[in-house]
Structure 1
């Protein structure tokens, strides 16, 4: 497994477009649109409890998440900003959904707490690496898979509310994907911590 590499400011490439220019390419504009939808999504869930609109926004976010990656490759517009925006949007949607679902008692606290602890630990790791001049840990396939499974689970959990036949079918599917995605999400966090530890240990050995 690769470890994070030092990223001193002096290594910034002169050929790299400015962050402002990067922000206005199509994939990054989609990521920014996803980020702008996070507070709206949270308000829909906790304010008027418009689950239908919240579900539509979540599906839109998932589609644009898939599309911005495809467009970045097709248009050759992959950028450092995009590498930061995409996982940030995913993480914020996951955090917003977990908090809203916990407040509304859609999922129990013992499902939410390990995922929130994972985010807190990863945040400490990223800050520690930054202080030592390292880039954040590389996104792993397990991390990507965990995010995909959780984003797939959340719509089913919303559909599971109520006593309809649709809710009865959606409920076990939603819980199954939540448990599966949650385990992968925590495990990917462990892998990120290992990456960070190896990077810091390698720096001390040098």
Structure 2
């Protein structure tokens, strides 16, 4: 249970409220540092888990939970500060709520959460890169201009991949929950 990747994921979960406090207090440099540490640790826990055969069911739940919480907190903070429009929050949170609704019928029929698709991982990766860049986009001058262009490019790719993955999950759930597959 307490493998190195799981401890890293737990640490990342613990950083979510730290990030929230920093961003609401306006400590942008520290908030960006926490976001960067979160991104690096997200990559690191996956590499360690695969390389040392420490993939666990707990890790498969903790890792996406930490990703979703960081995405939610970052989105709300960016919208609160008028860095991103509210529609972006609605589009991304709406996707997660839609997929959360799938958990009930899947569980009712004996299925756990669906396995993560590469498209979902890529979408999350793109979004987790977009957010720090969108924070940096608030800077004036060439750094802000470049960060804005790159941040929105990553955001659009992330949105597309995030929703493409949602469609894959919906199709997978539909297949699992087909009447001819489900026994009452």
Q: Same fold (TM over 0.5)?
A: yes
Match of 1:126 among 86, 103, 108: 103
Is 1:157 aligned to residue 137 of structure 2? Answer: no
Q: TM-score, structure 2 length as denominator?
A: 0.93
Q: CA deviation at 1:76?
A: 2.2
> Which structure has the larger Rg over C-alpha atoms?
1
Of residues 32-41 and 106-115 in structure 1, the stretch that sits farther from structure 2 once superposed is 106-115
Match of 1:103 among 68, 75, 80: 80
Deviating 4+ runs (over 2 angstroms): 73-76, 202-206
The unaligned stretches of length 5 or more in structure 1 are: 1-21
Instruction: Quote the residue 2:125 is aligned against.
Output: 148
Alignment match, 1:115: 92
Q: Which runs of 5 or more residues in structure 2 are unaligned? A: none
- Please give the secondary structure, in 2, of the residue aligned with 1:136: coil
Cα distance, 1:205 vs. partner? Answer: 7.0
Cα deviation for residue 91 of structure 1 reads 1.1
User: Which residues in structure 2 correspond to 1:155-194 (within 5 Å)?
Assistant: 155-194=132-171
Considering only aligned residues, what root-mean-square deviation do their CA atoms show, in Å?
A: 1.5
Give aligned pairs, total.
183
Return the offset for 1:204: 3.1
**After the TM superposition, which of the residue ranges 26-35 and 162-171 deviates more from structure 2?**
162-171
Kindly indicate whether the alpha-carbon contact (under 8 Å) linking 2:3 and 2:54 is maintained by their aligned counterparts in 1: yes
Q: How far does the alpha carbon of each residue in 1:67-103 deviate from its partner, in whole angstroms, 9 at most, with x for none?
A: 1111112322211111111111111111111111111
C-alpha separation in 2, matches of 1:68 and 1:110: 32
Number of the residue aligned with 1:138: 115
> Which residue is equivalent to 2:35?
58
In structure 1, the residue matched to 2:67 is 90
Q: Give yes or no for contact 2:109–2:182 (8 Å, CA) kept in 1.
A: no
